[in-house]
Amino acid sequence: MSFWSRARYPWNMPAIDNDVSQSTLLRIRVIRSHNSHCSCMRLNAPVLGYLILRLASPSAAQEFHPNIPKAWDDQMVAGLDLPLAQRDRSPRYLTAEEYYKLKVLPIYRSYPAYAKGQEPPGYLEALKQKEPEIIFDPSKLRAKEDWIAAGKLVFESEIRFFPAPEQPPAAEVGWPITKDGVLPGFVPGFRYYVRKKGVVEAGINSCAGCHTRLMPDGSFLEGAQGSENRPVSTAQVVQAREAAPDQMRRRLNSLWVNYGTPWVMTREEFGSYYTNEQYARGLAARHPGVLARQGTRFSYPPHIASLIGVQDRKYLDATGLVHNRSIADLMRYAIVNQGLDTLAHYGDFQPAASVGPFTGEEGTRYSDEQLYALALYITSLKPPANPNPVDDRSRRGQRIFREQGCGGCHTPPLYTSNKITTAQGFSVPKDLLQTEAILGVCVGTDPTLALATREAPGSTKSPLSAVSGTATPLVMPERRKPWKNGLILCV
């Protein structure tokens, strides 16, 4: 149907896109100015009225033309991290030229996985007949809301893939599932991908995998501190303790890529420390809310951060290692945490020459458009409503908070000073005193993460306990359980 037919018959209005383009409005203005008779205007009155209603509607999307920063810019990357406590071991990343030679990782359509026995008849065979479908296309993004929705796709998409496994029965899933048996898609292996016709895969290493929280009502909250690192079974602990020598060697190689710090512990010392027994003890001590991510320590896993309100934080990471100067730094932080840090050089040490356990597929990267959409989505996240009523008990807590001077470090309205504190035993170099926001106190928490890892600038971050612009607290971490050596992890 032509433009004129739609104008004459306004009940055909659904043929007009919801997003009213500037070119359409311009066309109407041109029609009006170039016709001395009113007949054409009468013909177009329904169109004009419809467009006015669409523009007046709160749901009418506006064109969005983002100025996407270059994510991996050599000069900006040089100032991304604080120097490590041992400065000659500060990371040296890929150059921009090297980085942009990597192939962009497509974002493919994914499909739900079901608990064993609850999938529709012939489901996997039907998936094998599907063509691969790339669902992130920046040329189709018009409004800011479109970019945010596309960022959610990036947030939820896995970046390493393996053959689709047999799924567990509902009673063994360990997570809430839908009444139809659909598994929670953020859990590694619980969603399917078709990247090649005839091949069904599952994946791992999405942002959502660590930053999705199981809420008390059984729902999931994206961006919050994740419920990852759940306790393992007794059988898994026994299996780790009884691992054969060749299996233990492979495990040690993986541990070294993730946690090796040769200026703190040599490769030989590392191998002697991580015996089968020590590894099994580490598995047995696992609990939700913490994760031994690459660059930290297997025996000292930091808490998983909430990403809600991240745009208000000046420093990122548990140790305050990374500056957060703009949305571009959040894009860079995603690059580093999806495996680029294991490819970096720490002095003469490079953890991995190719992929590591936390990385994406070898030779791939996110596009700048994907990273920008991802950052927009993360910064759009909002905290849940505070389930705790304002009553005499909460007001008493507020008085204690004020009287004890808690606001010195946890300053309202963010409930963080947005400063970094020094680790026990570390003297801040004079140049950092001039350039960084440093709170002149040492709270005495265990200094291992801040001094003896690849993410060790000699500092920790003043914790954030509320989001800017609201008195609604973030979802707080679980109470930390002591490790076997009596150490209690700090929030």
pLDDT at 468: 31
**Average pLDDT along the chain:** 82
Taking only the tens place, the pLDDT of each residue in 235-248 is 999 999 999 999 99
At 89, is the pLDDT very low, low, confident or very high (cuts 50, 70, 90)? very high
pLDDT at 166: 95
The percent of residues in the chain predicted with pLDDT above 90, rounded, is 62
**Do residues 190 and 184 touch, judged by C-beta distance below 8 A?**
yes
pLDDT at 362: 75
Six token digits for residue 366: 């996110």
Q: Name residue 62's amino acid.
A: Q
**Do residues 277 and 251 touch, judged by C-beta distance below 8 A?**
no
The percent of residues in the chain predicted with pLDDT above 70, rounded, is 80
Q: Which residues pair with 162 in a beta bridge?
A: 202
**Do residues 158 and 188 touch, judged by C-beta distance below 8 A?**
yes
At 104, is the pLDDT very low, low, confident or very high (cuts 50, 70, 90)? very high
**Do residues 438 and 421 touch, judged by C-beta distance below 8 A?**
yes
The alpha carbon of 351 is separated from its chain's Cα centroid by a whole number of angstroms, namely 22
Q: Name residue 221's amino acid.
A: L
- Cα separation, 373 vs 353, in Å, equals 29
* pLDDT above 50 for 21: no
Quote the pTM value. 0.81
| Reduced 3-state DSSP string for the chain | CCHHHHHHCHHHHHHCCCCCCHHHHHHHHHHHHCCCCCHHHHHHHHHHHHHHHHHHCCCCCCCCCCCCCCCCCHHHHHCCECCCCCHHHCEECCCHHHHCCCEECCCECEEECECCCCCCCCHHHHHHCCCCCECCCHHHCCCHHHHHHHHHHHHHCCCEEEECCCCCCHHHCCCCCCCCCECCCCCCCCEEEEEECCEEEEEECCHHHHCEEECCCCCEEECCCCCCCCCCCHHHHHHHHCCCHHHHHHHHHHHHHHHCCCCCCCHHHHHHHCCHHHHHHHHHCCCCCECCCCCCCCCCCCECCCCCCHHHCCEECCCCCEECCCHHHHHHHHHHHCCHHHHCEECCECCCCCCCCCCCCCCEECCHHHHHHHHHHHHHCCCCCCCCCCCHHHHHHHHHHHHCCHHHCCCCCCCCCCCEEECCCCCCCHHHHHHCCEECCCCCCCCHHHHCCCCCCCEEECCCCECCCCCCECCCCCCCCCCCCCCCCCC
Mean pLDDT across 320-334: 96
8 or 190, higher pLDDT: 190
| Highest mean pLDDT, choosing among 27-36, 112-121, 311-320 | 112-121
Closest CA to 443 of 459, 465, 467: 459
